[in-house]
Amino acid sequence: MGYGTGMLTVGLKENMSSAGARDLRVVAIGGGTGLSTLLRGFRKRTSHTTAVVTVTDDGGSSGRLREELGVLPPGDVRNCLVALADDESLMGALFSHRFTTGSLEGHSLGNLFLAALTQILGDFDKAVRESSKVLAIRGTVLPSTTHDVRLHSHLQDGTYVQGETSISASAGAVSRVWLEPADCRALPLALERIAEADVVVLGPGSLYTSVIPNLLVGGVREALVNSSASVIYVANVMTQPGETPGYSAGDHLDALIRHVGEGVVDAMLVNSSPIPSDLLHRYADLGAEPVLWLGTGTDYRGVRIVEGPISEVDGQVRHNPDELVAWVVRMGGVAG
């Protein structure tokens, strides 16, 4: 499916007529390395990028700090802060530095910095804002909520699993996830930025543990529906064992709609770049395969489907940040 069909802007919200004449306003919602990749691409194009980041992580350094200090998990937020900082920034390198020995083994300096600043200021959001100043980032990073939320799920066989790490490591495919407490609310600034955005991007990232949890935070779904922004979901390049085994692009979209209803997403971007056969075999050994659009049309459940060559190979398959952003901008109808 090619870009020349003229189908990229059909069916998307018509808010882009003057966007090419000013700085693009973007909200990126998700977590993990996928969101960081997207932010690195947008950092080069606009200073009006807002990242709304999941805070359900309970593993690794983030999980340890969460349990030992009672702070929100800082890891995904730290990754996003670094992604929006200058490539040559010494502070960015310091935030990414991970200790490999001693009692601090496994912790990154950025995680410790955010945890310490949270204790000093008494507020995780304030700690993120002050860290943004230290790193002089190009954009804004916001936790999706400042409530101490935990992720819960039912697998397709009915098994109940609690915690993001356990969900990702589960043997069966996920059927449903939810947050507790269910009445958690989004930061008012996050909702304001969604209302003002030209484009809102969901993902890329783990469907059930990075993308959907943010959409379950109180106020986010309503803000997306009411915004004039084009809401674009970027599907993962590969499926994830323990979350989306065997999922097609349509299955990913079905899961999103199952959790937040129809009318939220305007378009979905799916990778069409070929993947070398040796990598396909290696991923297959891990239980992963390409996420493909298997439908016959360019519309599915009211969502425009777009395929584009947005991946790159560097020992593994990942999104190319520049290509990804270029396609998102085209899909949003923004003059580039």
Per residue in 150-169, pLDDT (tens digit) is 999 999 999 999 999 999 99
Burial label, 33 (beta-carbon count in 10 A; 0-12, 13-18, 19+): middle
In this prediction, residues 278-306 reach a mean pLDDT of 94
Q: Return the closest-CA partner of residue 28 out of 110, 131, 139.
A: 139
Up-side HSE of residue 272: CA atoms within 13 Å toward CB? 13
C-alpha span between 219 and 151 (Å, rounded): 18
Quick one: pLDDT band at residue 334, thresholds 50, 70, 90?
Answer: low
Overall average pLDDT of the 106-125 stretch: 96
168-207: b (≥16 Cβ within 10 Å) or e: bebeebbeebebeeeebbbbeebbebbeebbbbbbbbbbb
Highest mean pLDDT, choosing among 8-12, 139-143, 292-296: 139-143
* Confidence at residue 230, expressed as pLDDT on a 0 to 100 scale: 95
- The pLDDT of residue 9 is 37
> Of 297 and 281, which is predicted with more confidence?
281
- Across the range 305-313, mean pLDDT stands at 96
Is 60 exceeded by the pLDDT of residue 198? yes
The percent of residues in the chain predicted with pLDDT above 90, rounded, is 85
138 in Cβ contact with 43 (< 8 Å): yes
Evaluate whether 29 touches 52 at the Cβ level (below 8 Å). Answer: yes
**Which of 140-144, 241-245, 308-312 shows the lowest per-residue confidence on average (mean pLDDT)?**
241-245
| Angular region, 79: left φ>0, alpha ψ -120 to 50, beta rest | alpha
Q: What is the pLDDT of residue 171?
A: 81
Beta strands 303-308 and 267-271 are: parallel
Split at pLDDT 50, 70, 90, the class of 239 is very high
Tell me what pLDDT residue 8 has. 42
| Amino acid 170: pLDDT | 87
The mean per-residue pLDDT over the stretch 160-188 comes to: 94
Full-model pTM? 0.92
pLDDT band for position 270 (cuts 50, 70, 90): very high
Averaged pLDDT, 249-257: 97
Quote the mean pLDDT of the chain.
Answer: 91
For 74-94, write each residue's pLDDT tens digit.
Answer: 999 999 999 999 876 888 899
More confident of the two residues 89 and 137 = 137
Asked if pLDDT for residue 236 goes beyond 80, the answer is yes
Contact criterion met (CB below 8 Å) for 150 and 179: yes
CATH class of 3-54+184-331: alpha beta
Mean pLDDT of 292-296: 91
**Domain chopping of the chain, boundaries:** 3-54+184-331, 57-143
pLDDT of residue 12: 47
